[in-house]
Amino acid sequence: MSDILVLDRINKSFPGVQALKDMSFSIREGEVHAICGENGAGKSTLMKVVSGVYAQDSGDIYVRGEKATIKNPIDAFEKGIAIMYQETSLFNEMTILENLFLNHEPTKKVLGVPVIDHRTMEKKVDEILRHMNVSMDINAKVRDIGMAQKQLVEIAKALTFDAKILIMDEPTASLTEREVTALFEIIRTLKNEGVSIVYISHRLEEIFEICDRVTVIRDGEFISCRETSETDKDRLVADMVGREVGSYYPKANTDVGGVLLELDGISQGNVLRDIRLSVRRGEIVGLSGLSGSGRTELAHAICGFSKLDGGEIRIEGRAVKIENYRKAMEMGIVYVSEDRAKYGLVAAMSIRGNISLPQIKSVSRRGFIDFDRERRMAEEAIEAFGIKAQGPDFPVENLSGGNQQKVSVARSTALRPKIMILDEPTRGVDVNAKAEIYRIIGELIKQGLSILMISSELPELLGMCDRIYVMNAGHIVSEFDREHATQESILKYALGEK
């Protein structure tokens, strides 16, 4: 079997991040080839380069041995490359048939005018569906069908291009077990027809079931490529983790006190199930898990952003009801969001305005803001947290990611909380800013604060936390001491392999 698609040393960077570094990859005819890696390893970026959504900065793509320039999605389709996106790219108000042929409807000439040929379309779809061994009402609107059918429509769409290379980005993420079995059936059928499939997934189980080879990528770089028959899960996980724990984690040894926050059997639909967790005074507790495992949802539930179905939250031993975030703040809980732009800061406002926002009362006199007091407060924060800015009136949107994060944290500490929930505190910030954020976390702990830290970066959790909880599919699946936690063991639990 020959290589049908070869990527040769692809580089792609976005402002501030090198998403792909000399990334190479190849797939043979009729092969199912998995790509796996941690969140943000560059899987989706790589596939968007192949499908023409992004242009690579350098590197070559070869299709059937010939060098190919793929500048836009149409180029990719013409080369026989089709992609099923994770966030589906379907059109809700249009019918399945209209979706399948969007922008490449077969046409016929009527009086010299090209018109859409509905009959050819229907005939072709019929053929494709028979091929896939499924049936569906092609005149139903996409908004009326479930997730599983949407995946099928995506596959059928790829086949309308006569795709020879089909890229599936997390196709099973929202499918039930039965639906996954049906999907694999289709994948096998396609494989026998000589279609090559790039299978991107977190689920190691599936990779070993359906794939011939597996390529691991990490931080945008190629790590390994092995036959699935000659490797095992432990090897893959080791490849995925790879990094060494750095030494820039200033974990202060503080005295851990009594239990401050306790969650007893918290549940919420099928997002959170029977969560039991505790945070003691002066403790840093980590919360690990893949994206979608329910970590952020848990934080939102604690802060009163969403309603609980059951369970009890206790603070210092007393059962409390937290209906909204204001209540949470009164109880001494503050939340620093992962999405600073959306939930955290008001981008167009100054540092001063952002810091005083949640405690506007304390800088106001008779309903009017006392600007001197507000400015003093902001200046103190800039000093204490080492925020690099010209002054308190500097707009937050012009700060770097790291400095924005410092403003977020500064604002939250000004409320004098007992416990701070940090959601991905170092996402999108550079190494230096990371080190500073870790230093700040260390300082906060010394002042007697407790921290619940959600992070996808295992080294950071291992370096900073006293204890680490691991979540998978809404459950807390494991709890580790600082001494016993390793990247491999945490990742295995997070992937649901234990």
Partner 1 sequence: MKPQSVGAFSVRGRGRLKGEGILGLLILAILLLLYIFGGGTSGFFGVQNIVNVLRVFSYLFIAGIGMTMIIITRNIDISYGAVISVIAIVMAAISKTNRHLPFYAFLPVGMLVGMLLCGFNAWMMATFKIPSMVITLATTQIYYGALLLFLDGSIYNLRSNWTWFTFKANLFNYIPLSVVIALALLVASILFFKYSRFVRRLYAIGNNRQGAVYAGINVNRTMIITYVIGGALLSFSSATLATQGSRVTCTVGNNVEMNVIAAVVVGGTSAVGGSGKIYGTALGALLLAIISPALAYVNINTYFTNLVTGAIIVIAVATSALKNVEFRFGKKSRIETRR
Radius of gyration (Cα) for the chain, nearest Å? 26
- Do 21 and 273 form a contact (C-beta atoms < 8 A)? no
Output the DSSP codes for 355-375.
HHGGGGGGGEETTEE-HHHHH
Residues between 87 and 146 that touch partner 1 (CB under 8 A): 88-94, 98, 102-103, 105, 107, 114-116, 133-137, 139-141, 143-146
Residue that is written with structure tokens 């039991």 in the block: 276
Question: Considering the complex, what minimum distance in angstroms separates the CB of residue 80 from partner 1?
Answer: 14
The dihedral sign for the CA sequence 395, 396, 398, 399: positive
Question: Considering the complex, what minimum distance in angstroms separates the CB of residue 100 from partner 1?
Answer: 11
Question: Under the phi-then-psi rule, with left for phi > 0, alpha for psi from -120 to 50, and beta for the rest, what region is 80?
Answer: left
From residue 273 to residue 312, the character string flagging contacts with partner 1 as x (rule: CB under 8 A) and all else as - is ----------------------------------------
- Sequence-separated (6 or more) residues with CB below 8 Å from residue 117: 105, 106, 107, 108
The span from the CA of 419 to the CA of 278, in Å, is 12
Number of residues that bind partner 1 (CB under 8 A): 46
- Sequence-separated (6 or more) residues with CB below 8 Å from residue 241: 38, 218, 458, 487, 488, 491
- Do 313 and 319 form a contact (C-beta atoms < 8 A)? yes
Residues between 334 and 393 that touch partner 1 (CB under 8 A): none
Give the residue, chosen from 32, 152, 240, 445, that forms a contact with partner 1 under the rule CB under 8 A: 152
Question: Considering the complex, what minimum distance in angstroms separates the CB of residue 125 from partner 1?
Answer: 13
Question: Considering the complex, what minimum distance in angstroms separates the CB of residue 116 from partner 1?
Answer: 5
Q: Which is nearer to partner 1, 51 or 293 (CB)?
A: 51
Give the residue, chosen from 41, 163, 168, 186, that forms a contact with partner 1 under the rule CB under 8 A: 186
Give the residue, chosen from 147, 173, 319, 360, that forms a contact with partner 1 under the rule CB under 8 A: 147
The stretch near partner 1 (CB under 8 A) out of 49-57, 211-219, 249-257, 409-417 is: 49-57
The span from the CA of 177 to the CA of 184, in Å, is 11
Question: Considering the complex, what minimum distance in angstroms separates the CB of residue 109 from partner 1?
Answer: 12
Q: Which is nearer to partner 1, 4 or 182 (CB)?
A: 182
Q: Which is nearer to partner 1, 136 or 349 (CB)?
A: 136
Question: Considering the complex, what minimum distance in angstroms separates the CB of residue 34 from partner 1?
Answer: 22
- Do 203 and 37 form a contact (C-beta atoms < 8 A)? no
Residues between 61 and 90 that touch partner 1 (CB under 8 A): 72-74, 77, 83, 85, 88-90
Give the residue, chosen from 122, 127, 162, 185, that forms a contact with partner 1 under the rule CB under 8 A: 185
The span from the CA of 433 to the CA of 355, in Å, is 19
Q: Which is nearer to partner 1, 184 or 343 (CB)?
A: 184
Q: Which is nearer to partner 1, 206 or 379 (CB)?
A: 206
Helix boundaries (H) for 26-90: 43-50, 73-78
- Determine if 176 is a binding residue for partner 1 (CB under 8 A): yes
Question: Considering the complex, what minimum distance in angstroms separates the CB of residue 90 from partner 1?
Answer: 7
Q: Which is nearer to partner 1, 52 or 402 (CB)?
A: 52
Q: Are strands 81-84 and 165-169 parallel, antiparallel or unpaired?
A: parallel
Q: Which is nearer to partner 1, 53 or 384 (CB)?
A: 53
Other C-beta atoms lying within 10 Å of the C-beta of residue 111: 5
Q: Which is nearer to partner 1, 73 or 311 (CB)?
A: 73
The span from the CA of 165 to the CA of 170, in Å, is 16
The span from the CA of 143 to the CA of 296, in Å, is 27
Question: Considering the complex, what minimum distance in angstroms separates the CB of residue 59 from partner 1?
Answer: 22
Question: Considering the complex, what minimum distance in angstroms separates the CB of residue 422 from partner 1?
Answer: 30
Other C-beta atoms lying within 10 Å of the C-beta of residue 337: 21
Give phi and psi for 435, each to the nearest 5.
Answer: -55, -40
Q: What is the DSSP letter of 236?
A: H
- Summarize as ranges the residues that interact with partner 1 (CB under 8 A): 51-53, 72-74, 77, 83, 85, 88-94, 98, 102-103, 105, 107, 114-116, 133-137, 139-141, 143-149, 152, 176, 179, 182-183, 185-186
